[in-house]
Amino acid sequence: MKIKELLADKGSQVYTIQAEATLSEALKLLTSHRIGSLLVMDQNNQIAGLLSERDILRQIDNVAGNIAQTKVKEAMTSREDLVVAADNDDLDYAMRIMTNNRIRHLPVVAQGELCGMVSIGDLIKAQLSQREHENKMLMDYITGKYPA
C-alpha cells in the first residue's frame, strides 16, 4: 500500500502554526485538535519545520521557568533536519523511516508540495487492516470459502 492511498482514506488535513507563534499557542492547537505535531510555516508560508510534543518537552527541560512565551522556532525541528516521505512511498518504507529516525509524525510531499501528514499510529492501523484482509482471504482459500 502506498502513502497516497492511506491519505485518500485518512484525509490530507495538516495543522500548521507560524514559526513566530508561542509554545502556549501551539499547545492550545495540539490539545484542541488532539494531535501530536504541527507543521511550522515561515512568514512566506513555506515549511520551516515541525513542532511535536517531544520538542516542547525538550524545551521545558532546556529552559528554566515559564516557557509559554517561547517562540515555536526555538523548539521546533528545523526544515534542514526534517524527515519527509513521498506520497508514492510504501507504508513499510515509511515505517522504517520513522523507526530508524525515532519520529512519530511524517510530512508527505508530492512533486515538492505538501500533501498530508501521517503518524506512526496511522501506519500501524493501515498495516493491521491490510494484514487482517490478507489473513481472511487466505483462510477463505484454505477452507474452500470463496468470496461471492
**pLDDT at res. 61:** 81
Q: What is the pLDDT of residue 148?
A: 53
Please give the pLDDT value at position 137: 85
Which residues, in sequence order, are CB contacts of 59 under 8 Å at separation 6+? 23, 67, 70, 74, 75
- The reply to whether 148 falls in a domain is no
> Which residue in the block uniquely carries the three cell numbers 494531535?
35
Classify residue 127: in a domain, yes or no.
yes
Contacts with 38 (C-beta within 8 Å, 6 or more apart), sequence order: 15, 16, 17, 26, 29, 30, 50, 51, 72
Given this model, what pLDDT does residue 146 score? 67
State how far the Cα of 31 lies from the Cα of 83, in Å rounded to an integer.
24
- Whether residue 42 lies inside any domain: the answer is yes
Spans of the chain below 70 pLDDT: 65, 146-148
Q: How many domains does the chain have?
A: 1
CATH number, domain containing residue 15: 3.10.580.10
Domain range spanning residue 76? Answer: 3-143
